[in-house]
Structure 1
């Protein structure tokens, strides 16, 4: 079992329990998380807390690089398990709260942003790292960051692929609250988030969450031509040598040697 699920007082505590592999979002991990999220809703929980077994201060290392395709397939296609997991978190009609006490990398950062609220310890960090691996992120993921953070901060996180601190994340609206340490984080989560959630109308909250989801999509409609252009840009990247070099260098634990040029997209 890669995921542990405990229901207490109408709250589901879903814990990624594969710390020895830094809770990589493998296909199996994503499928187990989705199953537990659906189960929590079926059991009429009023909220879900997403947490993790932390190893070497890593909350989650993100997408499992070992599972990325190198056969010309889109690594972030619509039905890839990680993409399905992000949609499940966004669309489940009860609030999902990410409780972060460690570093968050790549797809795990997108997973946190897919949650309705994020609380963290002060030494948590957040990084979105496709540029390090040579992955062309998809349009829905980029718009997710733009809608949450604004375009300038989204550009910084994607272009630089360096971690931002919990304090910085709080200032730009990526997270909701910061606690000084792990113990205070648990107290804050219970007293300031879960206690009010248990008291409020879940029917009202469910309707409001659905509205947030619909309204956040309303301003992101693009033309068919623009959509085709985006897919063409991405296809050039994930079918290219830099993409394979990024994966291989990660697996071989060496710095990548990228040789691609921006003009290849012209």
Structure 2
């Protein structure tokens, strides 16, 4: 088991426990996290706290690169486990709070943004890194960042792939509160969980559902634009740079990218 769930006083504490592999969002990890969310809702919890065992300062390293496809299929298609997990976090009808005590990379950053609230230690950092590996991120993930951070900060995070500090994340609205690592659990309980337990879970559940519906309604794009996005993404994950990025990561060496931006404009053979 990669995930441990403990229910106490109407709160489900869900902890990723694969620190030796930096809590990568593998298929098994995603499946177990989804099951934990289902258990929390079935147990009539009023909220979920997502935590992680930390090793070498890493809360989660994001997508398990070893599971990315190399056969030309979409690495972030609708039905891949990590995408199912994002939707499960967004759709479970009770609040999910990410409690971050280390560095957050790639898809794990998107996972945090999929949660309803985020608190973190001062030492936490956040980075979204598809460009480092040559992955064409999907539109739903990019929209998470645009809606939460605004266009310019989202561009900075995606284009540069460098971590931002907890204080910076707080300033741009990526997270809700920052505390010293030693005070994180106390802040979680006093500022978040105690008020949550006192409030009407029926009201909160209805409000969360409305947030989800309204966020989807505000991001409707035309079928033509959707096809345009997918055409760009397909050229990336079918290209050589995508293959090189994954191989370089697995071989623990810097990637040697040779693709050109103009490659996206050339007609398909």
Return the TM-score normalized by structure 2: 0.98
2: distance between equivalents of 1:68 and 1:100? 25
Corresponding residue of 1:262: 261
Deviation of residue 218 (structure 1)?
1.5
Partner of residue 218, structure 1? 217
Partner residue in 1 for 2:144: 144
Q: Deviations over 1:32-84 (max 9, x none)?
A: 00001101100000000000000000000000000000001000000000000
1:191 aligned onto 2:196: no
Render the CA deviation track for 1:61-117: whole Å, top value 9, x for unaligned.
Answer: 000000000001000000000000000000000000000000000000000000000
d(CA) in 1 for partners of 2:7, 2:136: 38
Q: Indicate the residue corresponding to 2:232 in structure 1.
A: 233
* Structure 2 equivalent of residue 245 of structure 1: 244
CA drift of 1:127 comes to 0.2
Looking at structure 2, the residues matched to 260 and 219 of structure 1 have their Cα atoms a distance apart, in angstroms, of 34
The yes-or-no answer on 1:174 pairing with 2:174 is: yes
Distance apart, 1:217 and its partner CA: 1.3
Q: For residues 109-188 of structure 1, what are the structure 2 equivalents within 5 Å?
A: 109-181=109-181, 183-188=182-187
Aligned residue for 1:97?
97
How many angstroms does 1:175 deviate by?
0.2
Unaligned runs of 5+ in 2: none
CA apart distance, 1:28: 0.3
Q: In the alignment, is residue 209 of structure 1 matched against residue 208 of structure 2?
A: yes
Shift of residue 124, structure 1, vs aligned partner: 0.2
* Aligned residues: CA RMSD: 0.4
Residue 3 of structure 1 deviates from its aligned partner by 0.2
Instruction: Please give the TM-score of this superposition, normalised by the length of structure 1.
Output: 0.99
Q: CA deviation at 1:180?
A: 1.6
**Cα offset for 1:172?**
0.3
Q: Give the distance between the partners of 1:47 and 1:230, measured in 2 at CA.
A: 35
Taking the aligned partners of 1:92 and 1:215, their CA distance within structure 2 comes to: 16
Unaligned runs of 5+ in 1: none
Matched, 1:53 2:53: yes
C-alpha distance in 1, partners of 2:220/2:44?
Answer: 33
Quote the Cα distance in structure 2 between the aligned partners of 1:215 and 1:225: 22
Distance in 1 (CA, whole Å) between partners of 2:33 and 2:20 is 17
* Secondary structure in 2 matching 1:227: helix
**Aligned position for 2:31:** 31
